């Protein structure tokens, strides 16, 4: 059986969907084995099944972006969930739907891959900065969607930031090798804790 991230990432490929996923997996494996800096695009392409650099560059602008291939999809999943929330939903309920939607795209058979990716990111400052930028991009997408639903500023971006944080807090727990719980579960719990803290601060 294919790991679920293949089905999942297929939606993102514009050319030869499986190639894209193979490149992502090959990159994470190589970065984990020999380090990010030491790995070349040619090596990634070769490991992905004898592909060429040219093929790599049809999918990704550089070796860094291969680690953030999910950004566009994750942003869309979150924004779409906000757009689809019922009229009666409060801003935090809309954000809850966004967190559920993105978390549901990570099934448990991706846990080991995600743990490896997390280790790669943690080992490199440039990658950490790019990861922070991904968080900002997700927050911006949710903020925009909340704005479309009539939530004003700064409440929209505040709520969006809470949702993105809940997702990542949940992800950190989920990507622990010993973790048993699902990401939707953990992300929801994180959001509940953030909501409680909000009440305390307010």
Residues that bind a second copy (CB under 8 A): 91-92, 128-130, 132-133, 136, 153-155, 158-159, 161-162, 165, 169, 193-195, 197-202
Least Å distance, CB 65 to a second copy, is 11
Angle between helices 91-104 and 71-84 (to 10 degrees): 140
Q: Which is nearer to a second copy, 45 or 69 (CB)?
A: 69
Least Å distance, CB 136 to a second copy, is 5
Q: Which is nearer to a second copy, 178 or 202 (CB)?
A: 202
Give CA 51 to chain center in angstroms: 26
Least Å distance, CB 36 to a second copy, is 16
Q: Which is nearer to a second copy, 38 or 133 (CB)?
A: 133
Question: 67 with 28: CB under 8 angstroms?
Answer: yes
Q: Which is nearer to a second copy, 80 or 169 (CB)?
A: 169
Distance CA 108, CA 8 (A): 13
Distance CA 4, CA 181 (A): 17
Distance CA 196, CA 201 (A): 9
Least Å distance, CB 24 to a second copy, is 20
Distance CA 150, CA 91 (A): 9
- The CA-based diameter of the chain, rounded to the nearest angstrom, is 57
Question: 85 with 91: CB under 8 angstroms?
Answer: no
Q: Which is nearer to a second copy, 88 or 200 (CB)?
A: 200
Least Å distance, CB 41 to a second copy, is 19
């Amino acid at each position: 059986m294919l790991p679920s991230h293949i089905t999942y990432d297929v939606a993102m490929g514009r050319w030869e969907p499986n190639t894209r996923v193979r490149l992502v997996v090959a990159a994470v494996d190589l970065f984990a084995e020999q380090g990010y800096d030491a790995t070349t695009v040619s090596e990634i392409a070769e490991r992905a099944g004898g592909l060429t650099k040219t093929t790599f560059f049809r999918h990704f602008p550089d070796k860094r972006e291969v680690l953030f291939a999910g950004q566009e999809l994750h942003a869309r999943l979150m924004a779409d969930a906000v757009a689809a929330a019922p009229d009666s939903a409060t801003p935090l309920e809309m954000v809850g739907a966004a967190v559920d939607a993105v978390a549901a795209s990570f099934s448990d058979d991706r846990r080991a891959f995600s743990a490896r990716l997390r280790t790669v990111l943690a080992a490199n400052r440039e990658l950490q900065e790019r990861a922070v930028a991904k968080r900002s991009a997700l927050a911006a997408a949710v903020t925009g969607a909340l704005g479309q639903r009539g939530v004003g500023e700064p409440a929209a971006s505040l709520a969006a930031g809470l949702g993105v944080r809940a997702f990542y807090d949940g992800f950190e727990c989920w990507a622990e090798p010993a973790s048993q719980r699902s990401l939707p579960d953990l992300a929801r719990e994180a959001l509940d804790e953030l909501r409680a803290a909000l009440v305390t601060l307010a």
